[in-house]
Structure 1
Amino acid sequence: MDSVTAAQGFSALGSESRIAVFQTLVRAGNGGLPVGDIQQRTGIPASTLAHHLKFLASAQLIVQEKQGRTVINRANFDHLQTLADFILEECCSEAGPNHD
């Protein structure tokens, strides 16, 4: 993952509302949720929710799949793991020796 893609992913989570939406989808697991269920669980108005979902989808944090007239939204767990790996990749690489 490059720094630009990582920045987009972390930036997309830079809103309390988007974090709430994303956590709702994480809790829902791989089955995901339709927009109406996300709205009911978060209390975010439909027009605002559509904006947040678009933002999360453009950052690859969620995947949207149309099933008939319903759009199912799922957390993109693979991308989330890649973001976590990116930020932790060099964890402690410059830490000095342990001086207890």
Structure 2
Amino acid sequence: MMRAYSKHLKLRDAKHEVIFPGVCLKIPGRFYYRFGKPILMRERQDVLTDRHAATDLYTHIKSEVQGIISYLLDKREEDEYRKISRRLMFMASQGFDTQVPSFDP
């Protein structure tokens, strides 16, 4: 039904399908997040007028974000409690008010 509706919408990219919320349920996973070092903009007023400085700042921010995402993806693969079944087994054996271990940054 969803494929037929996707074709009915005549989407530009045939690889994309319309997914209705609630129809395809996904088992909840863990959220992985990390905050990078703050970037002080008070001394960076040159990015407002200098295109080269703005491009350098953009490149710096982009590389920082890509590094953090890469780090978190690696840590996600190493996480033995990534799947909910493993977390539930741990909580059942240790008590449901026990914190499931996570990785050290």
Considering the TM-score relative to the shorter chain, is it more than 0.5? no
Q: Give the TM-score category using the shorter length.
A: under 0.3
Structure with the higher strand share, 1 or 2: 1
